[in-house]
């Protein structure tokens, strides 16, 4: 009935010269420029130092649980609250369960946080050199943003974050630079912005950064995001989490439950909790990586590389005479994958993940040979 009426309406108007152009379905498409993830080559025998994964396996408790895994569990929906995992995180960080939000990797947690908190119409702020997913989410959700430039040494200028804004995201330690800003700077930014939510992305904090978690009790507008992908060796499982005020976490949960109730699958909940509970293994793994990083710093410096002081599991290194892009190609040809970010500010650096001792020796021995030619 309605349809007929509308047709009548159209034909009743003045006679048209040309038949009406129907809009293509494509005019309704949300256009985005996607994030480019690092390469995930599956070739055997390569040395993979390009996406900051942990070179050691997850806690042996995860392997034990995986061996016992009863597939009948998969018949049922998982716990939408992911309580087991939330509890283990709350216990580890000594916060209340209502202060913990979990998601499918911290990418999911961060995307949910953008969607939940950045709706004022004022631009959100993040540095010009940082995790390159932030501007992708801002564009996807139609959030305006500004990217204040880091200084010449890639340090944050806190004044840039004490101006009017619709929210703030800071990776600390930062990627790809590896630099950690002191907690005092983070606190000034959080306390100076009571009208905005401030996200601190701590993907690398376990490798020697200073966490903002102690500030969570003091500031309702702070959300700290961490991941199982780097220091907890579970990038393939996809687990991330945020800790904040009960109020902020409630807002996040409301949005998440309006989007997808069952983000965390049953194995992620069970194995993630087991991994979080194995503190001794976690500490041991992180200490090994930090020791290798310090060794790598010394060796690379001796070969003519310089880099900011890394508090992460990677170095952002530039060579005194060989362009980064050339080294990137040569390394790749030798089966050693590192990350290269073209661009004016980052184009002469390689981001090199700290691998095992053996991987590190292979990298160094290639570079020694290459630089001698
Ligand atoms: C790796 C990384 C993430 C995302 O990690 P997930 O695997 O999605 O948990 C987020 N932020 C930064 C800065 C990262 O380097």
The dihedral sign for the CA sequence 66, 69, 75, 77: negative
Nearest-atom number in ligand 1 for the CA of 106 is 9
Residue with tokens 């130092």: 49
Rounded to whole angstroms, how far apart are CA atoms 241 and 258?
A: 18
What single-letter DSSP state applies at residue 322? S
Determine whether the shortest distance from the Cβ of 271 to ligand 1 is under 6 A.
no
Q: In tens digits, what is the pLDDT along the chain, a chain of 373 residues?
A: 333 344 344 444 455 556 678 899 999 899 998 888 888 888 888 999 999 999 999 999 999 999 999 999 999 999 999 999 999 999 999 999 999 999 999 999 999 999 999 999 999 999 999 999 999 999 999 999 999 999 999 999 999 999 999 999 999 999 999 999 999 999 999 999 999 999 999 999 999 999 999 999 999 999 999 999 999 999 999 999 999 999 999 999 999 999 999 999 999 999 999 999 999 999 999 999 999 999 999 999 999 999 999 999 999 999 999 999 999 999 999 999 999 999 999 999 999 999 999 999 999 999 999 998 6
CA 26–ligand 1 middle distance (angstroms):
32
The rounded Å distance from CA 24 to ligand 1 centre is 37
What was the pLDDT predicted at 5?
A: 40
Instruction: Report whether residue 111 contacts ligand 1, using a CB cutoff of 6 Å.
Output: no
Mutate-to-test residue for ligand 1 from 40, 203, 237, 242, highest number of ligand atoms within 8 A of CB: 203
DSSP states of 154-208 as a string? S---GGGGSS--S-EEEESS-TTT-----HHHHHHHHHT-TTS-EEEE-TTGGGT
Is the CB of 102 inside a 6 Å radius of any atom of ligand 1? no
Is the CB of residue 150 less than 8 Å from the CB of residue 171?
A: no
| 8 Å CB contact between 310 and 293 | yes
Cα 272 to Cα 234: distance, rounded to the nearest angstrom: 8
Other CB atoms within 10 A of residue 132 CB: 15
Pocket test for ligand 1, best of 85, 129, 134, 201 (most atoms within 8 A of CB): 201
Distance 22 CA to ligand 1 centre (A): 43
| CB of residue 171 inside a 6 A radius of ligand 1 | yes
Residue with tokens 């994030």: 35
For 159-164, the CB contacts below 8 A with 24+ separation are 160/125, 161/125, 161/189, 161/192, 161/193, 162/188, 162/189, 162/192, 162/193, 163/125, 164/122
* Contact yes or no for 226/286 (Cβ under 8 A): no
Q: Nearest Cα to 54, choosing from 235, 240, 233?
A: 233
| Phi, psi at 291, each rounded to 5° | -65, -45
Residues sharing a CB contact under 8 Å with residue 7, sequence separation 6 or more, in sequence order = none
109 CB less than 6 Å from ligand 1? no
> What integer pLDDT is reported at residue 44 of this predicted model?
85
Indicate the Cα dihedral angle 346, 347, 348, 350, nearest 10°: 70
Distance (angstroms) between ligand 1 centre and the Cα of 224 equals 13
- Could you tell me if the CB of 112 is within 6 A of ligand 1? no
Q: Is the CB of 53 under 6 A from ligand 1?
A: no
Cβ(125) – ligand 1 distance below 6 Å: no
- Matching residue, tokens 């900051």: 52
The DSSP output letter for 217 is: T
Going by their DSSP bridges, the two strands 198-201 and 222-227 should be labelled as: parallel
Determine the longest span between alpha carbons in the chain, in angstroms.
Answer: 83
Strands 350-353 and 339-340: antiparallel
Helix (H) or strand (E) holding 78: none
Q: Is the CB of residue 103 below 6 angstroms from any atom belonging to ligand 1?
A: no
C-alpha of residue 175 to centroid of ligand 1, in Å: 9
Beta bridge partners of 169: 199
């Amino acid at each position: 009935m309605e349809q007929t009426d509308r047709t009548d309406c159209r034909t009743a108007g003045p006679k048209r010269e040309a038949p009406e152009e129907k809009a293509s379905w494509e005019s309704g498409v949300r256009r985005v420029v996607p994030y480019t993830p690092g390469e995930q080559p599956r070739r055997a025998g390569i040395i993979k130092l390009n996406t900051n994964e942990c070179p050691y396996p997850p806690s042996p408790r995860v392997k034990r649980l995986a061996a016992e895994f009863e597939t009948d569990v998969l018949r049922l929906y998982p716990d939408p609250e992911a309580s087991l995992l939330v509890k283990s995180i709350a216990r580890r960080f000594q916060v209340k369960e209502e202060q913990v939000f979990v998601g499918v990797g911290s990418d999911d947690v961060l995307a949910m946080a953008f969607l939940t908190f950045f709706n004022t119409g004022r631009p959100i702020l993040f540095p010009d050199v940082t995790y390159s997913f932030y501007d992708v989410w801002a564009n996807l959700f139609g959030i305006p943003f500004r990217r204040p430039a880091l200084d010449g040494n890639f340090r944050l200028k806190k004044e840039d974050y004490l101006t009017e804004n619709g929210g703030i995201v800071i990776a600390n330690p930062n990627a790809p630079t590896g630099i950690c800003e002191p907690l005092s700077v983070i606190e000034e930014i959080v306390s100076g912005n009571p009208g905005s939510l401030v996200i601190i992305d701590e993907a690398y904090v376990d490798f020697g950064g200073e966490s903002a978690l102690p500030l969570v009790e003091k500031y309702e507008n702070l959300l700290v995001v961490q991941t199982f992908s780097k220091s907890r060796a579970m990038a393939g499982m996809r687990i991330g989490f945020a800790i904040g005020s009960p109020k902020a976490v409630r807002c996040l949960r409301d949005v998440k439950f309006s989007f997808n109730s069952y983000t965390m699958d049953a194995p992620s909940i069970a194995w993630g909790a087991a991994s979080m509970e194995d503190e001794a293994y976690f500490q041991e793994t992180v200490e090994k990586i930090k020791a290798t990083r310090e060794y790598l710093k010394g060796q690379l410096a001796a070969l003519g590389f310089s880099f900011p002081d890394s508090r992460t599991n990677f170095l952002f290194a530039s060579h005194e005479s060989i362009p980064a892009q050339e080294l990137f190609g040569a390394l790749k040809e030798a089966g050693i994958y590192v990350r290269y970010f073209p661009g004016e500010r980052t184009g002469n650096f390689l981001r090199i993940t700290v691998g095992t001792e053996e991987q590190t020796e292979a990298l160094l021995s290639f570079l020694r040979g290459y630089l001698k030619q």
